[in-house]
Amino acid sequence: MIVYCRDDAPDVSEEALRRAGAEVVRVPAVDGLIEPAAMLRDLGARGVLGVVIEGGGATHGTFLAAGLVDKLYWYVAPIVLGDPGAVASVSIGQRNLEEAYRLRIADVTSLEDDLVLTLYPS
């Protein structure tokens, strides 16, 4: 397993991950988040051709804003859950429709009670 962390992450966390068997790779941070292109360059050098990105709105937004997303699977469940102070599910800074990040729906699939949208950047 490869774990990417900011270049300023505490050493104690890195040692715990290494003891658990992970390879830890430090990459530069931008606005407190891992710089996504640096992580993808490292993965590409390892021969990795595709990745699944799991995270919060800031993480997903960073990859989208950098133009590093080719395909997006968006899972929609028929439940409402959230903290009143939480940011949007994907946060990339656009605050009006003119600046909004546009996606094209390629497919909608039912998965038990959920929907899976297959989306591509417009």
Percent of the chain with pLDDT over 70: 92
Least confident of 15-19, 37-41, 116-120: 15-19
Q: What's the whole-model pTM score?
A: 0.75
Q: Which residues of 40-65 are buried (b: 16+ CB within 10 A; e: fewer)?
A: beebeeeeeeeeeeeeeeebbbbbbb
Whose CA is closest to 108, among 100, 118, 99, 98?
Answer: 118
Per-domain residue ranges for the chain?
Answer: 1-51, 69-122
